[in-house]
Amino acid sequence: MRKIILIPAIFLILFIFLYPVYQEIKNYKKRNIEATKESLKKASKIIGEIVISEHKGQSPNRLDEIMTGNFKDIWRNGIEYKLLDKQKNTFSLRSAGPDGKLYTSDDLLEIGTINMSSLRVPSS
């Protein structure tokens, strides 16, 4: 009879101690995802500003054409830049997400558009 009561009691004690740890890990992952999404948005805006101010609105084929250094996400994986449409000035920034593998379901994607109306045309 003691064994029947003891086993559920052990599971209950384990659950009480481990559930908060599980919740913290889950919240940590969620915070990392949100931080990476925000970083991708900021990077997209910065890329647009650089292209407009220093490159006459010409979207680069590769990110290293306009800047040096490597963009990394919170998991220390590189951020992929891809020119989607040169005429529409759209590009994507992709983080591999928590699993560290590109083109899987946990990837984080930001589509950027360079606002050509912000391009200042020198007056003659």
- Domains of the chain (ranges; CATH) run 2-118 (3.30.700)
CB 4 within 8 A of CB 63: no
Q: How confident is the model at residue 3 (pLDDT cuts 50, 70, 90)?
A: low
Query: What rounded mean pLDDT belongs to the chain?
Result: 85
Q: How confident is the model at residue 8 (pLDDT cuts 50, 70, 90)?
A: confident
82-120 pLDDT per residue, tens: 999 988 889 999 999 999 999 999 999 999 988 776 555
- Of 8, 105, 93, 106, nearest to 47 by C-alpha is 93
Higher pLDDT, 83 or 124: 83
Beta-bridged to residue 91, according to DSSP, are: 83, 112
Q: How confident is the model at residue 39 (pLDDT cuts 50, 70, 90)?
A: very high
CB 92 within 8 A of CB 108: no
Residues 60-82: what's their mean pLDDT? 86
Give the Cα separation of 87 and 79 in Å (integer). Answer: 23
